[in-house]
Amino acid sequence: MALTLLLGSLPLPSQAGPEEDRLAFVGHYQSLFPEVPIAEYANGIYALDEDARAQWLAIEDFPPYEFSIERGSELWDTSLPDGSQLTDCLGTEINKIRPQYPRYVPNQGVVTLELAINACRSAAGAKRWDYSSGDMIDLTAYLAFEARGQELNVRVPADQPGALAAYEAGKRFYYSKRGQLNFACADCHVTSVGQYVRADRLGPSLGHPTHFPVYRSKLGGMISLHQRFFGCVRDVRAKPFELQSEEFRNVEFFLSYMSNGLEINGPGARK
């Protein structure tokens, strides 16, 4: 289903492709907040809320995710059972690793950074990490930190029909209503962005993947992007999918493509 049928406000042709979708997506936020530079959307709600931004900048003086980065650095340098290290599998240019994901791989579907890490560990004879484990969060935090300043550059290859199918599946998920509350992800983060829910303002979808994993103050710990997806689906009283499920990987693929050109600035800190 084209975005024009789901949003109504975006002037897209009925058979819009990914890049047409992305330009309309960015244009939507530009029309709502013309004073906000597009690059600022990498900062999430802090692009729109000056008071929250001031509090965030104060927190950044002593970032609560600092220990996660340090632990991730140690994990990166730890030898695997076969004597290799993750750099032998994921690459030696540490700042280029995070920007490679998510990506579509034929016969595998969308491969996220977390899937790639576990594939490397399995190949080296190591136990796969749970996707919500501290080790996985810490390592991805470290790789996000090392990639700061690199731009998202997700591709939907035209010569791989499965890539477009995964992208479209992620888009449908994002705009489909679900749960007892009958909400879609886009209801909060596209059509109602900037509005208040209780004491909090709804952040934009644009730039959402750039700053994960994040430290959430109300939880007192780090969470991944898929844990955020899980929480959102649960909060609308629908049954969440498993972390790193095909559904969530496709959503990450779609959202990351929408945020192409924005800089990675994770890990982040949020309420």
Q: What is the pLDDT of residues 214-269, one digit of tens each?
A: 999 999 999 999 999 999 999 999 999 999 999 999 999 999 999 999 999 999 99
Residue 120 annotated as catalytic: no
- According to the model, what pLDDT value does residue 271 have? 86
Q: Percentage of the chain surpassing pLDDT 90?
A: 91
The catalytic residue among 120, 185, 188, 232 is: 232
- According to the model, what pLDDT value does residue 268 have? 95
- According to the model, what pLDDT value does residue 14 have? 44
Residue 125 has pLDDT above 60, yes or no: yes
pTM given for the model: 0.93
> What is the residue-averaged pLDDT of the chain?
93
Average pLDDT over residues 7-16: 48
Q: Could you tell me which residue, 12 or 81, shows the higher pLDDT?
A: 81
- According to the model, what pLDDT value does residue 2 have? 40
Q: Which domains does the chain have, with CATH numbers?
A: 3-62+158-264 (1.10.760.10), 66-146 (1.10.760.10)
Average pLDDT over residues 30-34: 97
- According to the model, what pLDDT value does residue 5 have? 40
Nearest-angstrom CA–CA distance, 127 and 132:
14
Nearest-angstrom CA–CA distance, 192 and 266:
25
Nearest-angstrom CA–CA distance, 218 and 198:
15
- According to the model, what pLDDT value does residue 198 have? 79
Residue 8 has pLDDT above 90, yes or no: no
Assign 3-class secondary structure to the chain: CCHHHHHCCCCCCCCCCHHHHHHHHHHHHHHHCCCCCHHHHHHHHHHCCHHHHHHHHHHCCCCCCHHHHHHHHHHHCCCCCCCCCHHHHHCCCHHHCHHHCCEEECCCEEECHHHHHHHHHHHCCCCCCCCCCHHHHHHHHHHHHHCCCCECCCCCCCCCHHHHHHHHHHHHHHHCCECCCCECHHHHHCCCCCCEECCEECCCCCCHHHHCCEEECCCCEEECHHHHHHHHHHHCCCCCCCCCCHHHHHHHHHHHHHCCCCECCCCEEEC
- Measure the CA angle with vertex 10, ends 9 and 12; round to 5°: 140
Interior/surface letters 161-173, b for 16+ CB within 10 angstroms, e for the rest: eebeebbbbbbeb
Q: Are 115 and 244 in contact (CB under 8 A)?
A: yes
Average pLDDT over residues 157-185: 97
- According to the model, what pLDDT value does residue 15 have? 61
